[in-house]
Amino acid sequence: MRLLSTWSGAIYAALIYGFIFLPVIVLVLFSFQGGRFPIPPFNGPSLKWYRSVLADSTLIDALLNSLLVALSSSAIACLLGFLAAYGLARHRLPAAGVQRALLTAPVTVSYLIIGLGLLITFNTFGVAKSLMTVGIGHIVINAPLCFAIIYSQMGAHQENIERAARDLGAADWQVMWLVTAPMLMPAIMASYFLSVTFSWDEFIIAFLLSRFDVTLPVEIWSLLRSGLNPKTNAVGSIVFLISILLLVVIELTVFQKVTRR
Amino acid sequence: MTADVNIAGITHRFGSFTALENVSLTIGAGRFAVLLGPSGCGKTTLLSILGGFINPSHGQVFIGGKDVTALAPAKRPTTTMFQDYALFPHMSLRDNVAFGLRMRGNDRSSRHKRAEDLLSQFGLPDVADKRPHELSGGQRQRVALARALAVEPDVLLLDEPLGALDLKLRRQMQDELKDIQRRIGTTFVHVTHDQEEAMAIADDIIVMNAGVVQDIGAPETIYLKPKNRFTAAFMGEANFIAGAIAGQVGKSLRIRTAFGEHTVPRTTLLSHHPETVTRLDICFRPEHVRTDLKSRGALDLGPAQITDMAFSGTCHRCHLQVKDQTVTAHLRQNTTAKVGDTIQLQLDAADIILLPHEETA
Amino acid sequence: MSTDQVAVRERRKAIGFVLPALVWTLCFFVLPFAFMVVMSLWQRIGTKIVHTWSLDNYAAFFAKPHFLQGLVNSLEITLSVTVISILLAYPLAWIIAMRIPERWQRAALILAILPFWTSYVVRSYAWMLVLARSGIINQSLLGIGIIDEPLELASTRTATIIGFVHFFVMLLTLTIYANLKQLSPNYARAAADLGAGPVRTFIHVILPLTIPGVMVGAFLTFVLCIGDYITPQILGGNKELVLPQIIMLQIGRRADLPAASALSILLMLVVTFVYVLSARWLKLERA
């Protein structure tokens, strides 16, 4: 009985893992396709599609745009989130509940609707669509996340630690710079990198709010119009690789520290 | 570096809840004072007011004769050692201890030297590079103490610093705290709910309950001559026998209780005037119960039956039934009495005190 | 300085910390939403947006069958995805949490959500490769002779559902795993101690305790799924449109922002309605 349940469990897990990995394996495998189509039979391996990606300046520009938007919008989102979390966690403010609800409200709304609202607003004020407008949209979706993560990590215990710093003579800015921010660094870094990965992968807001300079997901989207193409596989594999690297960085820098504490 | 603390008419309210009601007291320079009381008695609020973390609703705080009521914590000649130590988790122990000096603008090498000196003085040499999470509870406690003392405060405030330690370590740290306090002479104000801890370390104990100071004095006084029923009961096990003053003969009082009339010295009534007291309680501690007194000073309460008995090492703790009253008593280690035995319950008049009767809730 | 003045100064400082985020939210979230509401009450006539107030855009939703059908498609797909994903993810989360040795669990979990980190657009594209007429599934099935004709998998509702389920199985495995790990192992021990077998322990103890967490995951799945454009657009084959696709059609091809706004607000109302329903259900469950 026990053996049976172990076996059926193992088979079930294998099937689901297979299902989860099937598209990724197909994607990566056929990025090394020698032929013109990313479908069986596989005749490779060949790096020609990767060469074609690296030679495509539009794609490379889009990749750099994506990185720029992700890194800078996340920095602002993180800063806004941290300051708001500090204000709300450390002080008793009027209508704090309403403020918290307002700050986290954007996470409950579909990206499409946030994008449309911003599109209408920018149209109304005659703001041209650009990477800047995309970044603004990404801050709207990521700041609540940063706020929520950092706020949840601001415990009463740390409040005592800040008191101790103040007691020993630290001014407000010293408390924040020397104690609060370093103490919350794992939460801040986690929210920053999470925000980077979300922004890096976001399509619909970037699609609605960009025009000439586009981000990578939007560029991949237009690549899809050419149908099944191993070049898309190659781009997809590169994106996957970059995301995994980012994940490893988070794992090593942030979570190692968290678990050590 | 030391200073006296003068608390003048402090009242503090949280909304409609009164945490402190018109508290006034003085703590002498260089004393080890302990604020003692059950949780919610206002002791921690009072400590926070001394530290400057709470602004009192009314009243003033003077330290070394200077009004510090409106000063921020950093501007006061006090530092606080927090209950959870509040060590900076992201800094080395050296940086933790040196933090206050850094805020005062001391240069790096001098403050690091001072921090390392303090750490080794407190029995933590060679750990300056470690982080707080690498230490045991007792070690963290010493680091917190070193950090608070590094800036040489006049008054050190300690918020239940021993609460998280196990019993053995707590005893050891009590001795160390007391030793350190003697050595440096800084005024210590220490908060605890543990009366044994208070007696072990304090020069002065301030007993608090429900936002009011109940009693102030040296440990022996507070334990043996408590001012009221609350203090008597809080400081340890106590028996109360209801009575009334039947008369006054020279330096003696006649007391009438359910067990007869007794003559006791007038001094047992402590500070109260006999004329103002009608109903009173005879208060005595379990270890004051005697079975072998023959002298004239003895109060004889009559035969008492032992209803249960438990050996606690230093004595046999037992309950006695005398008429309709239960009395807790400590019988000598080598007693031969057993449960069910009847013994003669006696007290030495020098041991008892008389307290004006209070209606208990 | 009096106590009150200190409090006022402290409060002013605190508001200064929160203010940037509040202003940002007001300017780029609340204000755009207000603009969208206003826009939904205007009309597009020809290429112009006419500022006359009416509910025509909302009326159109109920008048034009393909709009209403879009909502029906959205709901059908979202509900199937939510149910299938939970049914697939729960056992996997349970196996990882209960059957795999503690030190391998983190690795197993990271492995289970690794494809999360492929680009969202690329993930749907990859499913297109897998499900295509000449894709790996059809070729394998033809190869071993189970079928004679390639199956029409790509560009169907089934493909959309598979693409979604793939994403949400990963998400739900993560949330349900976290939920299972929060339970003290003593619950299961106590149940076993009192004579319950593994099945009854699961049904009477583990499952009820994890239902609130599963509901949170289900709600998250619902919200993300019903608002998504990419997966149905890439995998669904444009035969049965879902609401986000119809909204994007209004924005893109027809440049009809008023209609798009009205449809978006209706989409939000549906989500809000489901939220209210599930919130109530959660409370009942706890009482």
Domain ranges of chain C: 1-40, 56-286
Q: Minimal Cα–Cα distance from B215 to chain C, Å?
A: 29
Residue B355, number of CB atoms within 10 A of its CB: 24
Task: Select from B73, B84, B87 the Cβ nearest to the Cβ of A167.
Answer: B73
Among the listed residues B15, B35, B16, B17, the one whose alpha carbon sits nearest the alpha carbon of residue B25: B35
**Cα torsion at B71, B75, B79, B85 (round to 10°)?**
90
For chain C, strand residue ranges (E) read 43-45, 48-50
Residues of C in contact with B56 (CB under 8 A): 3
* Touching subunits for chain C (3+ Cβ pairs under 8 A): A, B
H-assigned helices in A30-126: 48-55, 57-90, 96-104, 111-124
The ipTM is 0.86
What is the spatial distance between Cα B301 and Cα B262, in angstroms, rounded to a whole number?
9
pLDDT grade for A261, boundaries at 50, 70 and 90 = very low
Q: Please list every residue in chain B whose beta carbon sits closer than 8 Å to the beta carbon of residue A169.
A: 74, 100, 103-104, 151
Cβ pair B303, B342 in contact under 8 A: yes
Do B55 and C1 count as a contact with CB atoms less than 8 A apart?
no
With an 8 Å Cβ cutoff, are A102 and C30 in contact?
A: yes
Q: Which of A157, A174, A183 sits opposite B90 (nearest CB)?
A: A183
CA distances from C205 to C43, C72, C95, C201 (A): 56, 36, 17, 5
Q: What is the pLDDT of residues C137-177, one digit of tens each?
A: 888 888 888 888 888 888 889 999 999 999 999 999 998 99
**Three-state secondary structure call for residue B61:** strand
Contact between A116 and C256 (Cβ < 8 Å): no
Q: What pLDDT band is residue A230 in, cutting at 50, 70 and 90?
A: confident
What SS3 state is found at B17?
A: strand
Assign A224 a pLDDT band (cuts: 50, 70, 90).
Answer: confident
Cβ pair A168:B103 closer than 8 A? yes
Asked if A39 reaches chain C (Cβ–Cβ under 8 Å), the answer is yes
May I ask the CATH class of domain C56-286? Answer: mainly alpha
* Cβ contact B266:B248 at 8 Å: yes
Distance between CA C277 and CA C280 in Å, rounded?
5
Give, for all 361 residues of chain B, the pLDDT tens digit.
789 999 999 999 988 899 999 999 999 999 999 999 999 899 999 999 999 888 899 999 999 999 999 888 888 999 999 888 888 988 899 999 999 998 888 899 999 999 999 999 888 888 889 999 899 888 898 999 999 999 999 999 999 988 878 888 888 889 999 999 999 999 999 999 999 999 999 999 999 999 999 999 999 999 998 988 899 999 999 999 888 888 888 788 888 888 888 888 877 777 667 667 778 888 999 988 887 766 666 788 888 889 999 988 888 899 999 888 899 999 888 888 888 888 888 888 888 888 888 776 4
Crossing angle (nearest 10°) for helices A230-250 and A48-55: 80
What single DSSP character describes residue B268?
G
What letter represents residue B277's amino acid? V
- The answer to whether residues B4 and B78 touch, using CB atoms and an 8 Å cutoff, is no
Q: What single letter denotes the amino acid at residue A168?
A: L
Contacts within 8 Å (CB) and 24+ apart, B98-105: B98/B150, B99/A165, B99/A168, B99/A170, B99/A178, B99/B147, B99/B150, B100/A168, B100/A169, B100/B147, B100/B148, B100/B150, B100/B151, B101/B150, B101/B151, B103/A165, B103/A168, B103/A169, B103/A170, B103/A171, B103/A174, B103/B74, B104/A169, B104/B151
Q: What is the mean pLDDT of each run of 10 residues along chain C (287 residues)?
A: 62 86 94 93 81 84 87 94 95 90 88 84 90 83 82 87 94 90 79 76 82 86 91 88 92 84 92 81 44
Cross-chain residue pair B99–A157, CB shorter than 8 Å: no
Cβ of residue A182 closer than 8 Å to a chain C Cβ: no
**Chain B adjacent subunits, 3+ CB pairs under 8 A:** A, C
Cβ-defined contact of A161 to B79 (cutoff 8 Å): no
The distance of B88 to chain A (nearest Cα, Å) reads 6
Can you give the pLDDT at residue B334? Answer: 83
Determine the average pLDDT of the residues in A22-35: 85
What are the structural domains of chain A?
31-260 (1.10.3720.10)
pLDDT at position C282, please? 53
Give chain C positions within 8 Å (CB) of B53.
none
Residue B133: which of A161, A168, A261 has the nearest Cβ?
A261
Q: Give the strands of the sheet with B325-332, arranged side by side.
A: B289-290, B342-348, B298-311, B315-322, B325-332
- DSSP 8-class letter at C156: S
Q: How far apart are CA C191 and CA C193, in angstroms?
A: 5
- Whether B57 sits inside 8 A of C3 (CB atoms) is yes
**Could you tell me the pTM of the whole model?**
0.79
Q: Which two tokens stand for residue C81?
A: 């995805």
- If we measure between CA atoms, which residue out of B264, B225, B226, B227 comes closest to residue B244? B264
Q: Which residues 6+ apart lie within 8 Å of B28 measured at CB?
A: B4, B187, B204
Distance between CA atoms of C244 and C227, rounded to whole angstroms? 6
- Which residue from B minimizes the CA distance to A160? B86
Choose the mutation target among C11, C17, C253, C257 for the interface with A, i.e. most A CBs under 10 Å: C17
Please tell me the distance in Å from B123's CA to the nearest CA on chain C. Answer: 38
CB contact B58 to C (< 8 Å):
no
Look-up of token digits 């196996």: C95
Cβ contacts of residue C271 below 8 Å, gap of 6+? A108, A110, C222, C223, C226, C227
pLDDT tens-place string over residues A61-70: 999 999 999 9
Rounded to the nearest integer, the mean pLDDT of chain A is: 87
> Would you call A107 an interface residue with chain C, using a CB distance cutoff of 8 Å?
no
Q: Given an 8 Å threshold on Cβ–Cβ distance, is C2 in contact with B70?
A: yes
